Amino acid sequence: MPTLTEFDTIAAISTPIGEGGISIVRLSGEDAVKIANKLFKGKDLSKVDSHTINYGHIVNPETKQVIDEVMVSVLLAPKTFTKEDMVEINCHGGIVVTNKILQLLLKNGARMAEAGEFTKRAFVNGRIDLTQAESVMDIVRAKTDKARQVAMNQLEGGLLVKIRAMRQEILDTLANVEVNIDYPEYDADQVTAKQMQETSKSVIAKINRLLKTASEGKIMRNGLATAIVGRPNVGKSSLLNYLTQDDKAIVTDVAGTTRDTLEEYVSIKGVPLKLIDTAGIHHTEDKVEKIGVERSKKAIEQADLVLLLLNASEELTPEDEKLIEYTKNKKRIVVLNKSDLGLKLKKADLAAKTDAEIVVTSILKEENLDDLEEAIRKLFFSGIHNSNDEVLVTNQRQAGLLEKAKTQLTDVIEAVDNDVPVDIAQIDFTGAWDTLGEITGDSAPDELITQLFSQFCLGK
């Protein structure tokens, strides 16, 4: 990776390869317009207004061969994503044509962008902070509308505002401490120590509130891991098929995994579910029954939520009892299915065995499935917030740094309780200020930044 101060003109394909009809090749840097102009046949791009879209053709300057019909956006600094001059070439040829255009740009003075380099420039040029940069990545990867919404919020700086306010609180107190250390004759050690302690307590309370959102943030990012379990023939596949109907299913081939572990995501009333072991559900029919139970045991272990299917038209079997037992420590919803065949098993029979929400359905006749969806929504949103302007801690890096700042502030509180000299207690206090700054990138070291941005997708 180049150093942060190297600002040559970079280029990359910024749309997922092979998806959608239009691809965008992006340029950013001083020579963006000059380089694009060498390939563009149409208006003189150096003469057009900023933020205009220009129709024309990309032509190989050596062979004069026409490569593609394109629309070219010219976006001049500073009102651009990177705060640099940018050019976006919208082409509609497939992957071969798009690559060809990129190659021509590289031949004519651009450098291939590193992964995440556009976003990194936006950060380095002060356009966005680290939490916002991370949300750019989240938006790209978002699996549900809700997740996208949370990421958009972050992009608008929700977390940034909260973190900066906490840092300001610490800074204000530090200013007082400095004054008091400089004037020891003004015997105010105790006052300043108390101030540090109080600020520490106040900031810890705020950190705790943010940390509480972290598990919710994780679910937003990854989906609520959901296992559908029940004995053979109870309706698992039918439920899976219902849940993954086209309009709901987002089937994702998660990067770095093979086709075998294809994960299925569905959005149920705004709740992102990641369905566990759907391959198992699809294929267990022809397997020995025992394998089915063992397999569901594994799925249950990984699950945040269990949908336990029972046959409403039959008595409970020992296998059902086992599954009720296995899932007792999980968030679960009991589905009494096949209600259309009569109700041998009733809600009341189960009430003694579980306090889980029970819904009675006929998946075959698509009856009461809305009750099931509603139960999922209620279970998910009870105990967690559901406000659109919610600030969420959405990644491990942010949560880890919040934990660290909390520890440092806890140490300050203890130090003051133990009459440790103010200037010693101040070390952790200042440390917490630094740690919080790392979250937003206000005090992040260069290597960290480089490492972070290299995780971005290419072209972002």
Binding residues for (6S)-5-formyl-5,6,7,8-tetrahydrofolate are 26, 88, 127, 460
Query: Does 237 interact with Zn ion (rule: CB under 5 A)?
Result: yes
* By the rule CB under 6 A, 363 interacts with ligand GDP: yes
Identity of the residue, 238 or 252, whose beta carbon is nearer to ligand GDP in the bound complex: 238
Over the window 326 to 345, marking each residue x when it contacts ligand GDP by CB under 6 A and - when it does not, the resulting string is -----------xx-xx----
Which of Zn ion, ligand GDP, none does 407 bind, CB closer than 5 to 8 A by kind?
none
Cβ of residue 235: shortest distance to Zn ion, in angstroms? 8
Q: Does 291 bind ligand GDP (CB under 6 A)?
A: no
Q: How far is the CB of 362 from ligand GDP (least distance, A)?
A: 4
Strand partners, 13: 25
124 CA to centre of own chain: 22
N- to C-terminal Cα distance for the chain?
15
DSSP 8-state class, residue 83: S
Structure tokens at 422: 């103010």
Tell me the binding residues for Mg(2+): 237, 258
CB 83 within 8 A of CB 122: yes
Nearest approach, Cβ of residue 8 and Zn ion (Å):
57
* CB of residue 230 to ligand GDP, shortest distance in Å: 6
Alpha helices in 246-345 (DSSP H): 278-283, 289-302, 318-326
Q: Which is nearer to Zn ion, 103 or 237 (CB)?
A: 237
Locate the DSSP E strands across 363-436: none
From residue 73, give the alpha-carbon distance in Å to each of 23, 76, 114.
Answer: 13, 10, 22
Cβ closest to Zn ion, residue 10 vs residue 240:
240
Paired residues of 125 in beta bridges: none
Nearest C-alpha neighbor of 333 from the set 290, 273, 291: 273
Between CA 169 and CA 174, with CA 172 as vertex, the angle to 5 degrees is 110
Residue 265 beta carbon to ligand GDP: minimum distance, rounded to whole angstroms: 20
Q: Which is nearer to ligand GDP, 144 or 337 (CB)?
A: 337
What sign does the dihedral 123-129-134-138 (CA atoms) show?
negative
**CA–CA dist 55, 396 (Å, integer):** 44
Contact characters 228-267, ligand GDP, x per CB under 6 A: --x-xxxxxxx-----------------------------
Stretch that binds Zn ion, among 40-48, 100-108, 177-185, 230-238 (CB under 5 A): 230-238
User: Residues touching ligand GDP: how many (CB under 6 A)?
Assistant: 15
DSSP class of residue 250 equals E
Task: Name the residues that contact ligand GDP, by CB under 6 A.
Answer: 230, 232-238, 337-338, 340-341, 362-364
Task: Name the residues that contact Zn ion, by CB under 5 A.
Answer: 237
